[in-house]
Chain A
């Protein structure tokens, strides 16, 4: 490498200043102007985080938000060259560092994950699946939308305003998030049994009858009429919402 240690050090000093605000002596710099670099760099990061996590931004006080955004950028070396993906590192940083705000707001980790998944699914690369729209919901093999993610939460961040979530809301919540043909991300509440139905379909196309059989075999139970109707209702709704995108004959 042609770069001298001195030049490297100056570049490192300027970059570190943008992240931390601590500016060592660098020859030739204009002190009055150099501050704009930190402001501009920080604004980009802050804007991206605010856009990715609007609910968290609305929940936290201005001081709390500024503190965690600053801490994150100061302590965490952002790895992704694609700035839209950087907010995922913010989530990971807070979880890994067991940030005190995750204790103050016990549902914050779920909320951040919920917000990130919405953005990630909205932006993610298209995934192809082989299917046809000619089929019968009750008898044809059902094809799951590949642009989906199963989610589990301890708090109902996906259907309750975070400001009103309390410790008494703690439970096990399951949901599926998927991207429909229009590009919107849709969240669907799931029971644990319906999570398994999605997981079966994720392995490959199955008919409703095959779903019943697989479920009954796994749990060594016989689905009663009500249980079968619940699965059929779910499959019909999932098809309407494009969580199930079609059929394989």
Chain B
């Protein structure tokens, strides 16, 4: 199954479209908690047609600040009200010194940060009474690293006993920005924990830097990495197409969804064939 990030830009079209047919939709709870009126009605209609996955932005799981429990309770209610199948968050921080920044900053790859983040994920999982999936974020600079990126990630996943949201585009972006081999990176991840995959486009802003914009079509090398990832995971995992800006025609979005589905089916068939 392949879903799409639900955007107000195409909310109306999605309800009536014979072209765009995702398997599910995904929203950030913070964009919908406490929202009523016109958008609530549109969202409710979408929920009648599609299962919901959720992907948080503001929990700031890697923050030095205390967890926002009031917000977490609201998230819990939202997940219950919307029967959300999945809740995921980012391995990053977006609040510090009691100030929200509304974007994802990289957590230093340190042993104390591993403990800190893992403890917080466990608290969140306990409060939400469900496992959550944590996403490896794209980053443009390391911050005071002591551990390797994979060591940092795998230890957190293990200590928190949480799931992994594998954003294949982020791995590609990070591989390019920090000059490592994306496939080797994926090989070193605990792929048995992958419960959800994100795919998106990006923008190359210089010869040495890619910014994760979600504003372009997915490029071929990221599709290739996706195929590689599916083969390594060796099982069906829900996939999301993220397109936040520069929204194209519905045909183009659906063709990306179709391509992702085809790659996944083909990769899994080949594996079946090998095992049979």
Contact = CB atoms under 8 A, between A and B. Distances in A.
A102 interface: no
Most chain B C-beta atoms within 10 Å of own C-beta, residue among A1, A11, A12, A125: A11
Interface residues of A, number: 52
A139 interface: no
Contacts of A121: 37
B209 A36 contact: yes
A123 interface: yes
A30 to B, nearest CB: 4
Contacts, number: 156
Given A15-B101, A26-B144, A78-B99, 8 more contacts: A6-B144, A7-B64, A32-B208, A32-B209, A33-B140, A79-B99, A84-B35, A147-B36
Interface string A3-34: 11011101110111011000000111110111
A55 interface: no
B36 to A, nearest CB: 4
B37 A19 contact: no
A127 B37 CA distance: 9
Contact of B71 (A81, A84, A184): A81
Contacts of B113: 3, 7
Given A3-B113, A122-B37, A125-B35, A28 B144 contact: yes
A82 B38 contact: no
User: On chain B, which size bracket covers the interface?
Assistant: 35 or more
Interface of B: 30-31, 33-41, 57-59, 62-64, 68, 71, 93, 95-103, 105-108, 110, 112-113, 115-116, 119, 140-145, 177, 205, 208-209, 211
A77 B99 contact: yes
B152 to A, nearest CB: 12
A37 to B, nearest CB: 6
Nearest to B100: A78
